[in-house]
Homo-oligomer: A and B are copies of this chain.
Protein backbone atom coordinates (compact mmCIF):
# COMPACT_ATOMS: atom_id res chain seq x y z
CA UNK A 1 0.00 0.00 0.00
CA UNK A 2 0.97 3.64 -0.21
CA UNK A 3 3.14 5.23 2.38
CA UNK A 4 1.55 8.62 2.20
CA UNK A 5 0.91 10.77 5.19
CA UNK A 6 -2.44 10.22 6.79
CA UNK A 7 -3.38 13.64 7.86
CA UNK A 8 -5.76 15.60 5.77
CA UNK A 9 -4.55 18.78 7.34
CA UNK A 10 -6.13 18.58 10.76
CA UNK A 11 -4.32 17.98 13.98
CA UNK A 12 -6.19 15.00 15.42
CA UNK A 13 -6.67 11.40 14.38
CA UNK A 14 -7.36 10.66 10.76
CA UNK A 15 -11.02 10.33 9.94
CA UNK A 16 -12.77 7.22 8.72
CA UNK A 17 -13.21 8.59 5.22
CA UNK A 18 -9.57 9.56 4.98
CA UNK A 19 -8.43 6.07 5.77
CA UNK A 20 -10.96 4.58 3.40
CA UNK A 21 -9.61 6.89 0.74
CA UNK A 22 -6.13 5.63 1.39
CA UNK A 23 -7.31 2.07 1.09
CA UNK A 24 -8.98 2.84 -2.21
CA UNK A 25 -5.90 4.70 -3.43
CA UNK A 26 -3.82 1.62 -2.73
CA UNK A 27 -6.04 -0.61 -4.82
CA UNK A 28 -8.09 -1.88 -1.89
CA UNK A 29 -11.88 -2.06 -1.73
CA UNK A 30 -14.11 -0.15 0.61
CA UNK A 31 -16.41 -2.62 2.32
CA UNK A 32 -18.99 -2.09 5.02
CA UNK A 33 -16.92 -4.18 7.41
CA UNK A 34 -14.00 -1.84 6.97
CA UNK A 35 -16.10 1.25 7.38
CA UNK A 36 -17.72 0.03 10.60
CA UNK A 37 -14.46 -1.28 12.01
CA UNK A 38 -12.83 2.08 11.42
CA UNK A 39 -15.74 3.91 12.99
CA UNK A 40 -15.52 1.75 16.08
CA UNK A 41 -11.76 1.98 16.24
CA UNK A 42 -11.22 5.65 15.58
CA UNK A 43 -14.21 6.68 17.64
CA UNK A 44 -12.38 6.22 20.91
CA UNK A 45 -8.91 6.24 22.33
CA UNK A 46 -9.53 3.03 24.24
CA UNK A 47 -7.43 0.01 23.49
CA UNK A 48 -9.52 -3.00 22.62
CA UNK A 49 -8.91 -6.64 21.84
CA UNK A 50 -9.75 -8.15 18.47
CA UNK A 51 -12.63 -9.98 20.06
CA UNK A 52 -14.09 -6.83 21.60
CA UNK A 53 -13.80 -5.08 18.26
CA UNK A 54 -15.52 -8.00 16.58
CA UNK A 55 -18.42 -7.72 19.01
CA UNK A 56 -18.74 -4.01 18.42
CA UNK A 57 -18.74 -4.46 14.67
CA UNK A 58 -21.14 -7.38 14.90
CA UNK A 59 -23.62 -5.16 16.70
CA UNK A 60 -24.13 -3.52 13.32
CA UNK A 61 -23.01 -6.27 10.95
CA UNK A 62 -23.78 -9.60 12.59
CA UNK A 63 -22.21 -11.67 9.82
CA UNK A 64 -18.70 -10.36 10.31
CA UNK A 65 -16.24 -13.04 11.26
CA UNK A 66 -13.39 -12.74 13.76
CA UNK A 67 -10.82 -13.73 11.14
CA UNK A 68 -11.94 -10.83 9.00
CA UNK A 69 -11.34 -8.50 11.92
CA UNK A 70 -7.85 -9.89 12.34
CA UNK A 71 -7.09 -9.48 8.64
CA UNK A 72 -8.26 -5.89 8.64
CA UNK A 73 -6.41 -5.06 11.82
CA UNK A 74 -3.25 -6.41 10.26
CA UNK A 75 -3.67 -4.29 7.19
CA UNK A 76 -4.48 -1.16 9.16
CA UNK A 77 -1.31 -1.69 11.11
CA UNK A 78 0.69 -2.06 7.92
CA UNK A 79 -0.80 1.25 6.85
CA UNK A 80 0.24 2.87 10.09
CA UNK A 81 -3.31 3.66 11.20
CA UNK A 82 -3.22 1.36 14.21
CA UNK A 83 -0.77 -0.04 16.69
CA UNK A 84 -1.20 -3.00 18.98
CA UNK A 85 0.05 -3.57 22.50
CA UNK A 86 0.64 -6.70 24.51
CA UNK A 87 -0.60 -6.56 28.08
CA UNK A 88 1.20 -9.47 29.62
CA UNK A 89 -1.31 -12.29 29.45
CA UNK A 90 -4.46 -12.12 27.44
CA UNK A 91 -5.04 -10.86 23.96
CA UNK A 92 -3.27 -8.00 22.20
CA UNK A 93 -5.08 -4.70 22.20
CA UNK A 94 -5.43 -2.23 19.35
CA UNK A 95 -5.59 1.53 19.35
CA UNK A 96 -5.23 4.36 16.84
CA UNK A 97 -1.59 5.08 16.10
CA UNK A 98 -2.13 8.79 16.59
CA UNK A 99 -2.14 9.54 20.27
CA UNK A 100 -0.99 6.09 21.31
CA UNK A 101 0.55 6.04 24.78
CA UNK A 102 2.46 3.61 26.86
CA UNK A 103 0.56 2.01 29.73
CA UNK A 104 1.16 0.77 33.20
CA UNK A 105 -0.91 -2.33 33.77
CA UNK A 106 -1.66 -3.67 37.24
CA UNK A 107 -0.79 -7.34 37.51
CA UNK A 108 -3.32 -7.82 40.27
CA UNK A 109 -6.47 -6.07 39.09
CA UNK A 110 -5.58 -5.40 35.42
CA UNK A 111 -6.25 -1.69 35.75
CA UNK A 112 -4.31 0.43 33.29
CA UNK A 113 -2.80 3.87 33.75
CA UNK A 114 -1.38 5.99 30.98
CA UNK A 115 2.31 6.65 31.34
CA UNK A 116 2.88 10.41 31.33
CA UNK A 117 4.66 11.54 28.15
CA UNK A 118 7.60 13.12 29.95
CA UNK A 119 8.38 9.82 31.68
CA UNK A 120 8.34 8.05 28.35
CA UNK A 121 10.52 10.73 26.88
CA UNK A 122 13.06 10.38 29.66
CA UNK A 123 13.14 6.62 29.24
CA UNK A 124 13.49 6.92 25.48
CA UNK A 125 16.33 9.39 25.90
CA UNK A 126 18.16 7.13 28.31
CA UNK A 127 17.69 4.13 26.02
CA UNK A 128 19.16 6.07 23.14
CA UNK A 129 22.15 7.22 25.14
CA UNK A 130 22.84 3.88 26.70
CA UNK A 131 22.38 1.56 23.77
CA UNK A 132 21.29 3.54 20.74
CA UNK A 133 17.94 1.90 21.24
CA UNK A 134 14.88 3.60 19.77
CA UNK A 135 11.95 3.00 22.10
CA UNK A 136 8.54 2.50 20.53
CA UNK A 137 6.30 4.28 22.99
CA UNK A 138 3.07 2.86 21.62
CA UNK A 139 3.95 -0.79 21.85
CA UNK A 140 4.66 -1.77 25.41
CA UNK A 141 2.90 -2.17 28.69
CA UNK A 142 4.75 -1.97 31.95
CA UNK A 143 3.68 -4.35 34.67
CA UNK A 144 3.46 -3.65 38.36
CA UNK A 145 0.85 -2.87 40.96
CA UNK A 146 -1.51 0.06 40.91
CA UNK A 147 -1.81 2.33 43.93
CA UNK A 148 -4.80 0.43 45.27
CA UNK A 149 -3.34 -3.05 44.89
CA UNK A 150 0.08 -2.01 46.12
CA UNK A 151 -1.59 -0.73 49.27
CA UNK A 152 -3.21 -4.07 50.05
CA UNK A 153 -0.23 -6.15 50.93
CA UNK A 154 -1.25 -9.67 51.63
CA UNK A 155 -4.90 -9.68 52.39
CA UNK A 156 -4.62 -13.20 53.84
Name the CB-closest residue of B to A115: B127
Which residues of the partner chain B approach A86 to less than 8 Å between Cβ atoms? 86, 88-89
Report how many residues on chain A are interfacial, defined by Cβ distance under 8 Å: 34
Q: Which secondary structure characterizes the binding site on chain A?
A: mixed
Does A144 interact with chain B (Cβ within 8 Å)? Answer: yes
Name the CB-closest residue of B to A123: B123
Does A147 interact with chain B (Cβ within 8 Å)? Answer: yes
Q: Flag if A133 contacts B113 (CB, 8 Å).
A: yes
Q: From B118, B130, B136, give the contact of A119 (CB < 8 A).
A: B130
Interface centre among A116, A127, A141 (most CB of B within 10 A): A127
Does A21 interact with chain B (Cβ within 8 Å)? Answer: no
Q: Flag if A140 contacts B139 (CB, 8 Å).
A: no
Which residues of the partner chain B approach A154 to less than 8 Å between Cβ atoms? 3
Does A94 interact with chain B (Cβ within 8 Å)? Answer: no
Q: Nearest-CB distance from A85 to chain B (Å)? A: 9
Does A131 interact with chain B (Cβ within 8 Å)? Answer: yes
Interface centre among A126, A134, A136 (most CB of B within 10 A): A134
Does A143 interact with chain B (Cβ within 8 Å)? Answer: yes
Which residues of the partner chain B approach A98 to less than 8 Å between Cβ atoms? none
Bound Cα distance A154, B133 (Å): 17
Bound Cα distance A145, B119 (Å): 19
Does A142 interact with chain B (Cβ within 8 Å)? Answer: yes
Q: Which 5 A-B pairs have the closest CB atoms?
A: A132-B147, A139-B143, A119-B126, A135-B144, A134-B150
